[in-house]
Amino acid sequence: MNSHGTNRHPRAIIDLAALRHNYRYLKQAAGGNRLIAVLKADAYGHGAIEVAEALPEADAFAVAAVGEALSLRKVGVSQKILVMGGFVSAAELQICIEHQLDPVLHHQFHLDCLQAATDLNDLDVWVKIDTGMGRLGFSPTRVQSIVSFLASFNTLGSIRLMTHLASADNVDNHYTDTQISAVDSLGLGEYEWGIANSAGVLGWPNTHKMWARAGIALYGADPLSDRKSAARDLKPVMTMKSIVLAVNRHRQGDMIGYANTFTCSKDMEIAVIATGYADGYPRHKIDTAQVEIDGKLCDIVGQVSMDMITVDVSGLDKVGVGEEVTLFGVSPNVCDLADCSQVIPYEILCNVGAHAKREYTD
């Protein structure tokens, strides 16, 4: 028996209208450049196939691995698909060739495989340059020779260039400017570039080249450090909901939950909610997280358990068994939950989307 999904109460409600709104907003924010919708990790827990089918206007999609891209092709997704991690074998290169997937080239292994292939069938490729992220990518000193090498292939399609921003989410960190300077110094402006990620789209206009990539912002979470003071028109795509299992009256001095970390400061009514870390809800808290019941925010008290959380509903008129609870969505916002849990919204969305049953609205 499944320990998650349809057998449990928590639901991840995916608003496809909000998704489309965010795509259009981000494309405009990127100066009208071509916008790649990132679908890796099952679209950050939102369902890659459902998200792709809901975005027929998307200029392209991006995934992490060839298998993710192939799954999209099998259901009829026809747009350009970037494989951000590249291919890991000659067999995967052949899949890219047969299904017109754009591999990102970031290692000598990729160049060797391309050279050994007999017919690349006009395969489009992206050359990744490491301008300071320190993960994947060729050294800037090699880029000129690599581009020349690839241009000699008769059966290769378009060659595009890209890099990855390391600190664009911090609006006060100008390392992004350093990375852009590294790009400009290459003197390869005649090529199509893809530089901006979500943070670059929203906060760094100098990263807006021909292509941009929208990941976390596409799903309604603002990645920038000034999000609480800025007024960006992003709409949450995922809302996590569950139900009340019980409402219990506790006396002043009663202790709640594992390790007795919460003691009632007065007589209180505590609701038990059918959600826990088995459903992807974050366990760790450094601050008081909240949920919404009947339009009002209520504090979580005590530790998050595998299947349950406990919530102070003393200020509500009446809460009954089966009543709906919003764990995050418009309010509370997933970014606020991430802040008080010392994680990032990416992690919460991926975890909840992988465990709670998903429902789609349009």
Please confirm, yes or no, whether 44 is among the known catalytic residues.
no
* Separation CA 197–CA 21 (nearest Å): 18
- b or e along 307-342 (b: 16 or more beta carbons within 10 Å of the residue's beta carbon)? bbbbbbbbebeebeeebebbbbbeebbbbbbbbbbe
* Separation CA 117–CA 224 (nearest Å): 42
Q: What is the CA radius of gyration of the chain?
A: 23
Distance of CA 259 to CAs 211, 302, 304, 310, 340, Å? 51, 9, 11, 14, 20
Amino acid in the structure at residue 272 = V
> Quick check: 130 and 137 in contact, CB under 8 A?
yes
- Give the H or E element holding residue 127: strand 123-128
Following DSSP, what letter does each residue of 135-180 receive, concatenated?
Answer: SS-B-GGGHHHHHHHHHT-TTEEEEEEE---SSTT-TT-THHHHHH
Strands 193-196 and 211-214: what pairing? parallel
* Separation CA 133–CA 206 (nearest Å): 18
Please confirm, yes or no, whether 258 is among the known catalytic residues.
yes
* Separation CA 314–CA 329 (nearest Å): 23
Of 277, 296, 300, the closest CA to residue 348 belongs to: 277
| 208: Cα separation from own chain's centroid | 20
CA angle 204, 335, 268 (to 5 degrees): 160
Q: Phi and psi (nearest 5°) for 165?
A: -80, 135
Asked if the bond preceding 345 is cis, omega within 30° of 0, the reply is no
Given the residues 27, 40, 128, 241, the one annotated as active site: 40
* Separation CA 259–CA 45 (nearest Å): 31
Amino acid in the structure at residue 106 = H
Catalytic residues: 40, 258
